[in-house]
Amino acid sequence: MSSDYRLAPLLAARMLGLALLVLGGLVFVATAVVVLFSAPIALLTAAVVVCVVGIFGFGWVLNRRAWIVRLTGDGYRVRFVRGAGVRQARWLDVEQVVTDTIAGSPCVVLRLRSGGATTIPVEVLAVDREQFVRELQDHLDGRPGARR
């Protein structure tokens, strides 16, 4: 049993907006090069095509392919979260799961037997907080040696 949790739509929209700004800057620079240096108009056309393809490609990746948390039968993995701590571990290594508010953001903290911890801010996930905690608990309950 594997579960992937994607980026929240609001954050995906912010990232896409940033990509629009960067790619718009590319079109601006290409336009300036064409006007100031009499470069061929094909340069501007190529820049616009690259930007359009880039926007749609980046949007597709954000929406369909980019996962933040992956829960599998063996353990979990977290990516793209600054300050997450331990980014992956086996379920057998998880000692305790607690919810906490860190810097004003609700988080799930997985405390490990080794003394490390993984902090997952649930606001960055495209899932309801309670549902995420329930599914996380289901994975923990399914590990070998878990108390039921």
CATH number at residue 124: 2.30.29.30
Q: How far is CA 98 from CA 52, 65, 66, 94, 136, in A?
A: 43, 28, 26, 11, 11
Could you tell me if residue 136 is inside a domain? yes
Q: Using one digit for the tens of pLDDT, what is the confidence trace for 38-83?
A: 999 999 999 999 999 999 999 999 888 889 999 998 999 999 898 9
For residue 123, give the nearest of 9, 2, 3, 1 by alpha carbon: 9
Provide the pairing of β-strand 88-90 with 75-78.
antiparallel
24 and 49 both lie in a single domain: yes
Domain of 96, in residue numbers: 74-141
- Look at strands 105-112 and 117-121 and give their pairing: antiparallel
User: What tens digit of pLDDT does each residue of 4-36 get?
Assistant: 999 999 999 999 999 999 999 999 999 999 999
Q: Is residue 12 part of a domain?
A: yes
| pTM to 2 decimal places | 0.80
In this prediction, what percent of the chain has a pLDDT beyond 90? 78
Residue 23 neighbours by CB under 8 Å, 6+ apart: 50, 51, 54, 55
